[in-house]
A and B are shown apart, each in its own frame.
Chain A
């Protein structure tokens, strides 16, 4: 095993920075047990990227602390030596937000994986940041409770990462994103100071710093504890599938359903390519001749669900559903969901690589946007499968490409960029739940003007004036924006 830290080669002899780095490494080694400090290239390899693997970078050094005291001391050291720090949970993020910094420390929080307290009277849980999303739901299940945000990566992703990215999932329309399911967070600032935002009650006085921290992508502080809201499992959950011969018809059915005052717990749409890929992969009985598929989940008491089920079925029929399947039992419901949840890996089977986008649009624009995506797909010569949270207008176009073909990744990124700017053009956003990270920096000046971006930078400086926390991500610098705009207009 290569045990020589890459710092000795690349930095130790580079003047003052080299000295700072050497002092930092010594400090970290004094502070942490040997098993918590990783310096070899080989051992750091698993940390060089997050879920968006096209962006890779080895960190200078990786640390895996076990206590809050250690996290504080690490941040103090980084601050003292002016060395960048990138926080990381399970690394399942999809925007390269946890991609390491070549000159910096990668702070991995997965060892902080304890559920500190579950209070089933208040339906709350206090957790360390490395607790996995699904592990929390499993731990509170005996009380009839669950944690509502359920991103596709819920088996692996951590609550700390969910807070940093304001993660969503398939149940956001009714139950909200992470920001709507949090009561309190404790963070460590770049100076190593502990601070708590929010509280045990609801609506603490003063500016809402809890919401500001949520989705701040590790740019403002490191989450070391979170108190989350849990929900009571509904006595009945009913899944319905409806197949349509066009995405427009399916989109109209969604608008009509919501117009009637029904807010399902989940409402998902898949297009033809996604349906076929999913069916080939998991064989759950999706009609492969359909152009669009809706999966709708209702929850509530027996009486509530029965009442809504009749309305939903009628509405789907009225809007021309070719086929409607009402899950008869829990296993059929699970199968219908399984196809949707397996859509990403299913697409992975029909293409060597795929690139997942994350724009959100007003629901009324679904038909137009899907038509435009199909035109862009033809223009770039790359297939696009569409899976999305139809209830809240959050699109996940999956761009199919082959990275081994020269230039195809770049084409996929250009197509992705065009899809994101299209989302902004119709009144939406470049990211619904994945975050900006490094990936969507080029589109930030498209969505925001100079005044907003400058305001973001001043806000960042209020927390981290030396830009040591996750630098180069989330919020573009003024220089970056000027270069971006000159490229667009040049």
Chain B
């Protein structure tokens, strides 16, 4: 547990003075995301520790290098949880990287993503200036929302030093129901059930080895979950089997590309017909997120993100309109005028 903020700031000031390109890294679990880039590693891994945690305030504040696994453990001692259920990638993922890469788990449509739980953060910009935005309170609209702007920025606007996160109580009851059904029927069921007032916290359709199955997770108070389970029917999974399934989904283990394959991600309205995203083998988030596994040779798919595998020097996040590109370049310049923080990680031109 150490506060390395000043050292990290000095490293960036030094890089700024010498125009040295930096690559921000902590757990190094997300190298497969974004574009491949070069740069001198600035290591946040030892900048760890929980700065404050008050269970009755529902807020935890931790340094960026603090591991998700540690936060989960600490919160669970107080019967609390991270609402956005991020992956922990074999225990090595950190909270800073999770925010920068915007990593949310199966509960995303019901409990929000990273931005919905993020209350504030510390940031070192490309000048090496240490700054704080947002705070530890639930509502805060003073100044521009630089905090949430960092979600998905992949470190291109600054090095995150610490984050404050809203946490929620753990659920008392936890059921998973499964249904044997084809993709179209599963999607129809997900869209229909998502509109009912039920304690659903996960809906995922998976097609693997010829088997098609819809998984529905119910979490909440015992009686609410039990009555919802009765209403939905299906087959109830044993708790350990259910936990394994949702964990594998969260950790991205259900659909892993082989060396010659690319994993594509689509995100859109949950009622988009099955055929609008051909060859889907996994539907998550009640239909809002769909995954396609393909040969790496396949050309870019319109509207899909080249999530994992394939050519990592390509524009994996697709193209932006010329005005949007120019705006994002100006925003990048506002934070990092010398372009030394993770250049090219999001887009080749940024």
Residues of A bordering B, CB below 8 Å: 119-124, 144, 165-166, 168, 172-173, 176-177, 179-180, 189, 193, 195, 199-209, 211-212, 214-216, 219-220, 232-235, 255-256, 258-263, 300-304, 306-308, 360-364, 389, 391-394, 427-436, 440, 444, 447-449, 451-453, 455-456, 458-463, 474-475
Query: Are B143 and A122 within 8 A (Cβ)?
Result: no
Query: Are B327 and A201 within 8 A (Cβ)?
Result: no
Query: Are A462 and B136 within 8 A (Cβ)?
Result: no
Query: Are A394 and B327 within 8 A (Cβ)?
Result: no
Contact of A440 among B104, B135, B142, B317 (CB under 8 A): B142
Chain B 185-215, CB-CB to A under 8 Å as 1, else 0, gives 0000001001111110000000000000000
| With known contacts A209-B149, A304-B221, A456–B197 Cβ distance under 8 A | no
Q: When chains A and B are docked, how far (Å) is the Cα of A444 from the Cα of B224?
A: 45
Query: Are B148 and A444 within 8 A (Cβ)?
Result: no
When A and B form their complex, which 4 residue pairs have the shortest distance between CB atoms, in order from nearest? A201-B267, A261-B169, A304-B224, A211-B148
Q: Which of B131, B144, B333 has the most CB of A within 10 A?
A: B144
Chain A residue contacts of B169, Cβ below 8 A: 260-263
Query: Are B113 and A429 within 8 A (Cβ)?
Result: no
Q: When chains A and B are docked, how far (Å) is the Cα of A72 from the Cα of B327?
A: 17
Query: Are B335 and A455 within 8 A (Cβ)?
Result: yes
Query: Are A362 and B195 within 8 A (Cβ)?
Result: no
Q: Which of A360, A393, A430, A460 has the most CB of B within 10 A?
A: A360
Chain A residue contacts of B130, Cβ below 8 A: 451
Query: Are A456 and B331 within 8 A (Cβ)?
Result: no
Query: Are B143 and A448 within 8 A (Cβ)?
Result: yes
Judge if B240 is at the interface, Cβ distance under 8 Å: no
Whole-angstrom distance between the Cβ of B261 and the nearest chain A Cβ: 20
Chain B residue contacts of A259, Cβ below 8 A: 55-56
Residue of A at shortest CB range from B324? A195
Chain A residue contacts of B226, Cβ below 8 A: 303
Q: When chains A and B are docked, how far (Å) is the Cα of A172 from the Cα of B146?
A: 21
Q: When chains A and B are docked, how far (Å) is the Cα of A392 from the Cα of B141?
A: 14
Query: Are A212 and B144 within 8 A (Cβ)?
Result: yes
Q: When chains A and B are docked, how far (Å) is the Cα of A360 from the Cα of B195?
A: 33
Chain A residue contacts of B334, Cβ below 8 A: 455, 458-459, 461-462
Chain B residue contacts of A165, Cβ below 8 A: 141
Contact of A444 among B59, B140, B142 (CB under 8 A): B142
Contact of A202 among B156, B288, B324 (CB under 8 A): B288
Q: When chains A and B are docked, how far (Å) is the Cα of A389 from the Cα of B140?
A: 13
Whole-angstrom distance between the Cβ of B193 and the nearest chain A Cβ: 11
Query: Are A362 and B57 within 8 A (Cβ)?
Result: yes
Query: Are A258 and B137 within 8 A (Cβ)?
Result: no
Query: Are B57 and A201 within 8 A (Cβ)?
Result: no
Query: Are A432 and B137 within 8 A (Cβ)?
Result: yes
Chain A residue contacts of B222, Cβ below 8 A: 307
- 21 example contacts (A-B, Cβ-Cβ < 8 A) are as follows A122-B271, A123-B194, A177-B139, A201-B268, A215-B145, A234-B197, A260-B169, A300-B199, A301-B199, A304-B221, A307-B222, A307-B224, A308-B221, A360-B137, A363-B57, A429-B139, A432-B137, A432-B141, A456-B144, A456-B146, A459-B335
Query: Are B149 and A303 within 8 A (Cβ)?
Result: no
Residue of B at shortest CB range from A429? B140
In B110-148, the 8 Å CB interface with A consists of 112-113, 115-116, 125, 129-133, 135-146, 148
Query: Are B142 and A431 within 8 A (Cβ)?
Result: yes
Chain B residue contacts of A475, Cβ below 8 A: 143-144
Residue of A at shortest CB range from B290? A201
In B275-334, the 8 Å CB interface with A consists of 285, 288-289, 305, 317-318, 321, 323-324, 327-328, 330-331, 333-334
| With known contacts A202-B113, A208-B102, A208-B152, A393–B331 Cβ distance under 8 A | no
Chain B residue contacts of A428, Cβ below 8 A: 135, 137
Judge if B242 is at the interface, Cβ distance under 8 Å: no
Judge if B10 is at the interface, Cβ distance under 8 Å: no
Q: Which of B113, B139, B227, B323 has the most CB of A within 10 A?
A: B139
Judge if B170 is at the interface, Cβ distance under 8 Å: yes
Contact of B138 among A203, A260, A302, A393 (CB under 8 A): A393
Q: When chains A and B are docked, how far (Å) is the Cα of A392 from the Cα of B57?
A: 9
Query: Are A211 and B143 within 8 A (Cβ)?
Result: no
Q: When chains A and B are docked, how far (Å) is the Cα of A302 from the Cα of B226?
A: 12
Chain A residue contacts of B142, Cβ below 8 A: 429-431, 436, 440, 444, 447-448
Contact of A120 among B129, B195, B223 (CB under 8 A): B195
In B132-178, the 8 Å CB interface with A consists of 132-133, 135-146, 148-153, 156-157, 168-170, 172
Query: Are B289 and A201 within 8 A (Cβ)?
Result: yes
Q: When chains A and B are docked, how far (Å) is the Cα of A173 from the Cα of B330?
A: 35
Query: Are B197 and A233 within 8 A (Cβ)?
Result: yes
Whole-angstrom distance between the Cβ of A453 and the nearest chain B Cβ: 8
Chain A residue contacts of B197, Cβ below 8 A: 232-235, 300-301
Q: When chains A and B are docked, how far (Å) is the Cα of A315 from the Cα of B104?
A: 33
Chain A residue contacts of B125, Cβ below 8 A: 451, 455
Judge if B76 is at the interface, Cβ distance under 8 Å: no
Chain B residue contacts of A391, Cβ below 8 A: 138
Residue of A at shortest CB range from B135? A429
Interface size range of chain B in the complex? 35 or more
Query: Are B223 and A306 within 8 A (Cβ)?
Result: yes
Q: When chains A and B are docked, how far (Å) is the Cα of A430 from the Cα of B141?
A: 8
Judge if B257 is at the interface, Cβ distance under 8 Å: no
Judge if B348 is at the interface, Cβ distance under 8 Å: no
Q: When chains A and B are docked, how far (Å) is the Cα of A463 from the Cα of B333?
A: 12
Query: Are B268 and A452 within 8 A (Cβ)?
Result: no
Query: Are B327 and A452 within 8 A (Cβ)?
Result: no
Whole-angstrom distance between the Cβ of A467 and the nearest chain B Cβ: 14
Contact of B131 among A235, A451, A461 (CB under 8 A): A451
Contact of B113 among A203, A433, A436, A447 (CB under 8 A): A203
Q: Which of B59, B137, B157, B220 has the most CB of A within 10 A?
A: B137
Query: Are B317 and A206 within 8 A (Cβ)?
Result: yes
Chain B residue contacts of A204, Cβ below 8 A: 152, 267
Chain B residue contacts of A455, Cβ below 8 A: 125, 129, 131, 146, 334-335
Residue of A at shortest CB range from B54? A364
Query: Are B269 and A124 within 8 A (Cβ)?
Result: yes
Chain A residue contacts of B285, Cβ below 8 A: 202
Known A-B contacts: A123-B194, A189-B323, A301-B224. Give 13 more (CB < 8 A): A202-B109, A207-B157, A207-B331, A260-B169, A307-B222, A394-B138, A427-B137, A432-B140, A434-B141, A447-B143, A448-B143, A459-B331, A462-B331
Contact of B129 among A209, A260, A451 (CB under 8 A): A451
Whole-angstrom distance between the Cβ of A436 and the nearest chain B Cβ: 6
Chain A residue contacts of B170, Cβ below 8 A: 261
| With known contacts A301-B197, A303-B224, A360-B137, A203–B144 Cβ distance under 8 A | no
Residue of B at shortest CB range from A458? B334
Whole-angstrom distance between the Cβ of B36 and the nearest chain A Cβ: 16
| With known contacts A195-B324, A207-B157, A307-B224, A431–B267 Cβ distance under 8 A | no
Q: Which of A193, A209, A220, A436 has the most CB of B within 10 A?
A: A209
Whole-angstrom distance between the Cβ of B8 and the nearest chain A Cβ: 15
Q: When chains A and B are docked, how far (Å) is the Cα of A232 from the Cα of B59?
A: 27
| With known contacts A201-B267, A212-B148, A232–B196 Cβ distance under 8 A | yes
Q: When chains A and B are docked, how far (Å) is the Cα of A232 from the Cα of B125?
A: 41
Query: Are A303 and B331 within 8 A (Cβ)?
Result: no
Residue of B at shortest CB range from A219? B144
Query: Are B223 and A207 within 8 A (Cβ)?
Result: no
Q: When chains A and B are docked, how far (Å) is the Cα of A391 from the Cα of B172?
A: 21
Q: When chains A and B are docked, how far (Å) is the Cα of A360 from the Cα of B323?
A: 37
Query: Are A301 and B198 within 8 A (Cβ)?
Result: yes
